[in-house]
Amino acid sequence: MERMLSAIKPTGQLTLGNYIGALRNFVRYQDDYELYVFIANLHCITVYQKPEELKKNLKDAVALYLAAGLDPKKCTLFLQTDVRAHAELGYIMACNTYLGELNRMTQFKDKQQKGETGLSAGLYTYPCLMAADILLYDANYVPVGEDQKQHVELTRDLAERFNNRYGETFVVPSPLTPKVGKRIMSLNDPSKKMSKSENNDKGCIYLLDDLNVVQKKVMSAVTDSYGELNLDKEKQPGLYNLFEIYAALSDTSKEELLKKHQGQGYGEFKKTVSECVVSELSKIQERYKEIIASNQIEDILNEGALKAQRIAERKLEKVERKIGINIHKRR
């Protein structure tokens, strides 16, 4: 069975973008791949987080992984810091990454260009940690949304560089983006990605949003003045985004959905999309409540950590030997 690995960084509540672009696909893949999924808590602190809020968000993220359908019997689910090898290989990868490579990473570049101040060194080097996350497990595939593809591509370059310098060590991973929903846009500004760091919550649906709020957010999504349903990403980006959400959640092509709804007004169409989103989220929220009440998270994380540690530690030792920093056999 080929191996797959991915993660989410819960710097806030998980969003519909996280769900459609990533989480939902992990659930599908767990039957066909040896899947490792973790909560990227080290990545969270690249930007300051209030400790109590962070704790809640991390726990909610685990519960949401499970509520979305990840099954700990089929996949390995763990917290990044429970496997110390991530941070250590992250440092080693940073020593094998050029500044020029990090300067090209669009996420950091965008923040810098927007004039954001107080950006941390951790944020700058985070692609090195992400590469370590992936390479520790010899993952063949990394399912991600479009915005993370560049980091997986850097991981490929770093793996190849390391293999060339020190001999075959890492599997070179491939990013896997979904056909539909690889970039869900903000509902109130379809030129921007739907994101938890967005200032305005109106454009972002959170998986744990009150369902009435979800409905309102979809109903007030920004569209256009053409007044006709079409699939034109350039001219009608807001509408296109609603089609994208609807298509992903209903597993139907956008073209088929357009045929079905052609001739409808925007209000009627938005109502259908909102019902579709609300129905999906209500199932997730129900399971989420059961999971939080059942206290199973602790056991699941402990079990996942043991499985992940076995693989990651073996790989880290191999790396240490290859680069020459390990000079004795540890007992």
Interacting residue ranges for ligand TYM, rule: CB under 6 A: 5-9, 17-18, 20-22, 40, 43, 130, 133-134, 142, 144-145, 147-148, 181-184, 193-195
Q: Is 270 a catalytic residue?
A: no
Q: Which is nearer to ligand TYM, 191 or 295 (CB)?
A: 191
Q: What is the DSSP letter of 144?
A: -
Q: In this structure, what token pair is assigned to residue 175?
A: 């990013």
**Euclidean distance between CA atoms 255 and 266, whole angstroms:** 17
Give the other-Cβ count within 10 Å of 224's Cβ: 16
Q: What is the DSSP letter of 325?
A: -
Q: Is 193 a catalytic residue?
A: yes
Q: Which is nearer to ligand TYM, 200 or 294 (CB)?
A: 200
Q: Which is nearer to ligand TYM, 82 or 321 (CB)?
A: 82
CB of 156 to ligand TYM, least distance (A): 12
Amino acid making up residue 202: K
CB of 51 to ligand TYM, least distance (A): 19
CB of 215 to ligand TYM, least distance (A): 20
Residue 5 and residue 315 in contact, taking contact as beta carbons nearer than 8 Å: no
CB of 110 to ligand TYM, least distance (A): 13
**Euclidean distance between CA atoms 16 and 208, whole angstroms:** 10
Q: Which is nearer to ligand TYM, 205 or 278 (CB)?
A: 205
CB of 180 to ligand TYM, least distance (A): 10
Catalytic residue (choose from 59, 74, 149, 196): 196
State which residue has the least CB distance to ligand TYM.
21
Q: Is 111 a catalytic residue?
A: yes
Catalytic residue (choose from 59, 74, 111, 254): 111
Amino acid making up residue 10: P
Q: Which is nearer to ligand TYM, 147 or 224 (CB)?
A: 147
SS (H, E, C) 249-269: HHCCCHHHHHHHHCCCCHHHH
CB of 166 to ligand TYM, least distance (A): 22
Q: Could you tell me which of 29, 40, 38, 39 has the C-alpha nearest to residue 4? A: 29
Q: Which is nearer to ligand TYM, 87 or 262 (CB)?
A: 87
**Euclidean distance between CA atoms 56 and 208, whole angstroms:** 13
Catalytic residue (choose from 9, 182, 193, 315): 193
Positions marked catalytic: 111, 193, 196
